[in-house]
Amino acid sequence: MKRIIYFLFLFVYGCANMIAPSGGLKDESPPNLTKVSPSNYQKNSQLKSIAFIFDENIAENNLKQKIFSSPPLEKITHKINGNKLELFLEYDKFKEATYHLNFNSGIKDINEGNITSELDYVFSTYNTIDTLSFSGRVVDAFSGLNTENVWLLLYETTINDTLVFDKKPFYISKSDSIGDFSFNNLKNLDYNLFALNGNDLQYSAGEKIGFKKKPISSLKNNSTIYLFDPYFNFDSIKIENNLKIDSVSKTGNLLINLKKAEPVIILLYKNDEVMYLRSFNDSICRINNISTGEYSVKIIIDTNNNQKWDNGNFKKKENPEKSYIYNEKINIRENWDLNIDCEINGD
């Protein structure tokens, strides 16, 4: 009897250490749209609701904050049930236009959180689907960095500039993670382009704005719009021709080829601190006796040659002076001349 009990104990103990199967490969595929009703590209339709069916259960990925329509609608609400998304659209007034709904990565699967990045819906309230487009990039005028999550606003040229940011634009877009934006399904007209980095389409103090001085055409692409804070005053950028070096440090030299002579301000940064700042008015800018190490290079186009960075003025239709960041950090080596090319092609 003792032998039987001992045998059963070993058997149970051995089973307790068995490892369960892993369950297969992790799902890395985003939800796929299998059906939409009404179908895409409807004409002569002021739609009130749209249903989207996916191949798996879905969840929102901040959809309320991300989804938008161009032209803008009065209100967009939604409901999710399993693998079905329903949108409900409200209009402030009837407009003959082609509407483009942009989901902006606002849908993901419910289990693994895989995001559906390419999802949009187009319909027209009249008998034509407009097909023209316009694209560009948003750049912060002072930092020179591409800027994401900025609203781009297109107004008809008949709208007075004093009403901009108070009146709803005709079309809207939003810059992506690298600052790029695009307008799709436009009418063949000229427009005034503005930018705003707030949460909504109305300007509030402290927000940055941007504008193009001349009307743009839906047939032109690759336009850059520069953001600035109209109340920002940075007097400390005034040139002092300073170079911070240690008298016993190892140094090297930098030659920047601008391709053409124009007034510029050149700044060298190390760990976000300005180590060198000076004005030039030549195609070749030479900087001597720089302490060895890595630096970021920033170039400001000093348009009026007053040796400081000038902000924009919306009322006077004056854009800010533009800044450019060299595309990689430079490495200054001891007793070495480093040559870099910085051809500037801003519009």
pLDDT at 136 over 90: yes
Residue 7 scores a pLDDT above 80? no
Choose between 20 and 263: higher pLDDT: 263
Question: Phi and psi at residue 34, in whole multiples of 5°?
Answer: -105, -25
154 band by pLDDT with thresholds 50, 70 and 90 = very high
68 or 308, which is more confident?
68
Query: In the prediction, which pLDDT does 234 show?
Result: 64
Query: First and final CA of the chain: distance in angstroms?
Result: 95
Do 33-124 and 132-227 fold alike per CATH? yes
Q: How many Cα atoms sit within 13 Å of 33 on the Cβ side?
A: 17
CATH topology of domain 132-227: Immunoglobulin-like (2.60.40)
Asked if 172 and 70 touch (Cβ cutoff 8 Å), the reply is yes
Which pLDDT tens digit goes with each residue over 291-301?
Answer: 999 999 999 99
- pLDDT tier at 242 (50, 70, 90 boundaries)? low
- 166-198 in b/e form (b: 16+ CB < 10 A) is eeebbbbbbbbeebebebbbbbeeebbbbbbbb
Quote the DSSP letter at residue 294.
Answer: E
Reply yes or no on whether the pLDDT at 14 is more than 50. Answer: no
Which pLDDT score, from 0 to 100, does residue 239 have?
45
162-208 pLDDT, tens digit per residue, is 778 788 899 999 999 999 999 999 999 999 999 999 888 888 888 99
How many angstroms from the chain centroid is the CA of residue 345?
20
User: In this model, does residue 18 exceed pLDDT 50?
Assistant: no
Determine whether domain 33-124 maps to CATH 1.20.120.10. Answer: no
Task: Please state, in angstroms and rounded to a whole number, the distance separating the CA atoms of residues 205 and 150.
Answer: 16
How many whole angstroms separate alpha carbon 225 and alpha carbon 319? 10
Q: Please determine, for residue 64, whether its predicted confidence score (pLDDT) is greater than 70.
A: yes
* pLDDT value of residue 9: 35
Of the candidate ranges 110-124, 239-253, 265-279, 323-337, the one whose mean pLDDT is the lowest: 239-253
Taking 70 as the threshold, does the pLDDT of residue 3 lie above it? no
User: Over the range 238-249, which residues count as b (16 or more CB within 10 Å of their CB) and which as e?
Assistant: eeeeebeeeeee
CATH code, residues 235-341: 2.60.40.10
Residue 4, pLDDT above cutoff 50: no
Structure confidence at residue 159 (pLDDT): 83
- Bond from prior residue into 38 cis (ω within 30 degrees of 0): yes
Residue 347 pLDDT class (50, 70, 90 cuts): low
Query: In terms of DSSP bridges, do strands 337-341 and 251-270 run parallel, antiparallel, or are they unpaired?
Result: parallel
Q: 25: which DSSP letter?
A: P
Buried b (16+ CB within 10 A) or exposed e, 34-56: eeeeeeeebeeeebeebebebeb
* Distance from the Cα of residue 184 to its chain's centroid: 17
Task: Express each pLDDT in 266-276 by its tens digit.
Answer: 999 988 888 88
pLDDT of residue 115: 94
Q: Hunting for tokens 């992506």 — which residue is that? A: 176
Segment (H or E) for 226: strand 223-227
Phi/psi for 191 (5° steps) reads: -135, 155
Is residue 240 over pLDDT 80? Answer: no
Domain boundaries, the chain: 33-124, 132-227, 235-341
Among 234, 105, 224, 218, which Cα is nearest to 170's?
218
pLDDT in tens, 204-238: 888 999 999 999 876 666 789 999 998 887 654 44
Q: What angle do CA 252, 344, 180 make, to 5 degrees?
A: 115
